[in-house]
Amino acid sequence: MPRLLHTSIFRIALVYLLLLGITLAVLLGVIYWSTAGLLERQTDETVQAEIRGLAEQYRAEGLVRLMEVIRERSGPGGSKENVYLLTGPRFAPLAGNLAHWPAAAAGEEGWLEVELARRDDPSGVPHVIRGRAFDLAGGYHLFVGRDTVERGDFRDIVAGALAWAVVPALLLGLGGGALIGRYSLARVDAVREASEDIVRGDLSRRVPLSGSGDEFDRLAVTINAMLARIETLMGGMRLVTDSLAHDLRSPLTRARSAIDMALRHPGKDEGQGAEQYREALEQTAAELETILRTFEALISIAQAEAGVDSLKLNDLDLSALAGDLLEVYQPIAEDAGVELNGVISETITVAGHRQLLAQALANLLDNAVKYSPSGGRIDLTLRRGAGGVAQLAVADNGPGIPAEDRDRVLQRFVRLDDSRGTPGSGLGLSLVAAVAKLHGAEVSLDDNAPGLRVTLTLPAA
Ligand SMILES: Nc1ncnc2c1ncn2[C@@H]1O[C@H](COP(=O)(O)OP(=O)(O)OP(=O)(O)O)[C@@H](O)[C@H]1O
Ligand SMILES: [Mg+2]
């Protein structure tokens, strides 16, 4: 309950209630004042008409007739609201339904409003009476007025209406505010609980949807998409750190045991010892080389993934670059006993980063040589495709990659089981994918029947 009072919706509801209450009160107030004014004018007119009638009678037939008329009119047959009093010179009542002469002095235009007891009201409660007093010839006095009980009744009606309108409106508004507040609180609580679980480490937790498609649902969908992205990124990070730790362990362990061996078994004579130290250092240097290559590959991938903002793409002669790499890899392929052929269209330029593109192509050629059996054949082709795109492809006739693994091998540190025997850390194709993304290019891995064909499709310069 106290939490409900603190929700913004409940507070807004309270403010609206206050405004509603004020509006209702002002509205009824205006109605009251204008109607009360009207009633007052009517009272005055009635009294005035009464006075005119009585004056006529008095003028025509004298005091006795006036007394008669007043008796008649203030009797049970007359109007209940009209009051009269005719007194002698010493204010002793002669006729009428007022108990005694009003003590107050007349106000504007001879009108007075006084509280007086009525003769015809046995309770003796004073009534508020509005009327005028006159002096007649012979020292007689006449008061003609009207009981304002109607005005009081009307005020009670308006006050009643105010109560009947305002109290239920306030209760309804309060209830509605509480209900909406509770609803929004429940929805926010769902988000809060999910977030708390995530803070506690459960990255797979998601914000539940109500299915109504309202603004809370839309917010939840966005939050869930964000959480999914974070989970993927965290998974990727974990994979990288785990794999890196695993990958660095073996070369570091091998380097340490080489050093240990050399230190523990020094040669008997000078020359032999020097030879052993030399071997140990060479082995260590080779292992360090592996580690450095892994780091360099990771840094290149990070660089390419960081995007175009930090790297500038320049017009680049892709034909020349492919030709250079073909020249570099031909002797390597020859050593491995595979044939490397190139079909390169001239003067194909793209907007590109020379070093990263060269590294990506080198990785593809390296894989082709590494995974092809001796006697195999590799084809490097560069040609213009539909719409001026540049198509760079490396195809071999080795074991190939099963269709279901073709997406996976583009991730960092992923190596297929068949390749465990060959050196490598599973970063080559990740760099190719990152470089492709940087260039807005597409990588596709296809079956070369047999073997693997990797095609990079770069947009026209
Ligand atoms: N041409 C290919 N033929 C068959 N399998 C391949 C070929 N190229 C890549 N693969 C498979 O994809 C995996 C990932 O290749 P990637 O180039 O990313 O890593 P790697 O060659 O194992 O190591 P690195 O390139 O970092 O030295 C390889 O381990 C291998 O299983
Ligand atoms: Mg490779």
Pairing of strands 339-344, 377-384: parallel
Residues 30 and 73 in one domain: yes
Q: Residues 265-292, buried b or exposed e (16+ Cβ, 10 A)?
A: eeeeeeeeeeebeeebeebbeebeebbe
Q: How many domains does the chain have?
A: 3
Ligand 1 atom nearest 417 alpha carbon: 31
Closest C-alpha to ligand 1, atom 29: 415
Element spanning 456, H or E? strand 452-458
Q: Which ligand is nearest to the CA of 300?
A: 1
Integer angstrom CA distances of residue 428 from 260, 346, 365, 432, 433: 32, 27, 10, 7, 9
What is the gyration radius of the CA atoms in the chain, in angstroms? 53
Integer angstrom CA distances of residue 385 from 210, 318, 444, 457: 49, 14, 14, 8
Using the mean position of ligand 1's atoms as its centre, give its distance from the Cα of residue 350 in Å.
26
Return per-residue pLDDT of the chain as tens, 461 residues. Answer: 677 778 888 888 888 888 888 888 898 889 888 888 888 888 899 999 999 999 899 999 999 999 999 999 988 878 888 999 999 988 888 999 888 888 876 666 778 888 888 888 888 888 889 999 888 888 899 999 998 887 788 888 888 887 888 788 888 888 888 888 888 888 889 889 999 999 998 889 999 998 888 888 999 999 999 999 888 888 878 877 887 887 788 889 999 998 888 888 766 666 677 888 888 899 999 999 988 988 888 888 887 877 655 567 889 999 999 999 999 999 999 999 999 999 999 999 999 988 889 999 999 999 999 999 999 999 999 999 988 899 999 999 999 999 999 999 998 889 998 888 888 888 899 999 989 988 999 999 999 999 999 999 999 87
Evaluate whether residue 354 is within a structural domain. yes
CB atoms within 10 A of CB 159: 12
Rounded to 10°, the helix 428-438/270-306 angle is 30
DSSP 136-194: -TTS-EEEEEEETHHHHHHHHHHHHHHHHHHHHHHHHHHHHHHHHHHHHHHHHHHHHHH
Using the mean position of ligand 2's atoms as its centre, give its distance from the Cα of residue 423 in Å.
9
Look at residues 283, 303, 323 and tell me which one is the last residue of a structural domain.
303
Using the mean position of ligand 2's atoms as its centre, give its distance from the Cα of residue 398 in Å.
14
Ligand 1 atom nearest 427 alpha carbon: 26
pLDDT on residue 239: 77
Dist. CA 62–CA 60, nearest whole Å: 6
pLDDT on residue 379: 96
Dist. CA 329–CA 408, nearest whole Å: 26
Check if the beta carbon of residue 425 is closer than 8 Å to that of residue 432.
Answer: no
Dist. CA 147–CA 127, nearest whole Å: 7
Evaluate whether residue 96 is within a structural domain. yes
Where in the sequence is the domain holding 262, given as residue range(s)?
215-303
Residues 253 and 322 in one domain: no
Q: Which ligand is nearest to the CA of 417?
A: 1
The residues placing their C-beta within 5 Å of ligand 2, an ion, are 367, 428
Residues 126 and 267 in one domain: no
Look at residues 273, 303, 333 and tell me which one is the last residue of a structural domain.
303
Evaluate whether residue 172 is within a structural domain. no
* CA neighbor of 210 nearest in space, from 181, 228, 184, 229: 184
Residues 6 or more apart whose CB falls under 8 angstroms from that of 2 comprise none
Residue 164 burial by CB count (10 A; 0-12/13-18/19+): exposed, middle or buried? Answer: exposed
Residues 257 and 142 in one domain: no
Evaluate whether residue 321 is within a structural domain. yes
CA geometry: angle 117, 123, 129, nearest 5 deg: 30
Using the mean position of ligand 2's atoms as its centre, give its distance from the Cα of residue 380 in Å.
16
Ligand 1 atom nearest 396 alpha carbon: 1
Residues 315 and 289 in one domain: no
Residues 332 and 381 in one domain: yes
Using the mean position of ligand 1's atoms as its centre, give its distance from the Cα of residue 394 in Å.
13
pTM: 0.57
456 is written with which tokens? 């990079």
Residues 392 and 290 in one domain: no
Residues 132 and 32 in one domain: yes
Evaluate whether residue 146 is within a structural domain. yes
Dist. CA 346–CA 355, nearest whole Å: 20
Evaluate whether residue 170 is within a structural domain. no
Residue 181 beta carbon below 6 angstroms from any ligand 1 atom: no
Residues 145 and 246 in one domain: no
For the chain, report the end-to-end CA distance as a whole number of angstroms.
65
Residues 323 and 451 in one domain: yes
One-letter amino acid at 10 equals F
Evaluate whether residue 169 is within a structural domain. no
Evaluate whether residue 159 is within a structural domain. no
pLDDT on residue 310: 58
CATH number, position 384: 3.30.565.10
Residues 352 and 293 in one domain: no
Residue 47 burial by CB count (10 A; 0-12/13-18/19+): exposed, middle or buried? Answer: buried
Q: Residues 328-352, buried b or exposed e (16+ Cβ, 10 A)?
A: ebbeebeebebebebebeeebebbb
CB atoms within 10 A of CB 305: 14
Closest C-alpha to ligand 1, atom 20: 426
3-state secondary structure of 200: coil
DSSP 366-421: HHHHHHSPTT-EEEEEEEE-GGG-EEEEEEE-SS---GGGTTGGGSTT---GGGTT
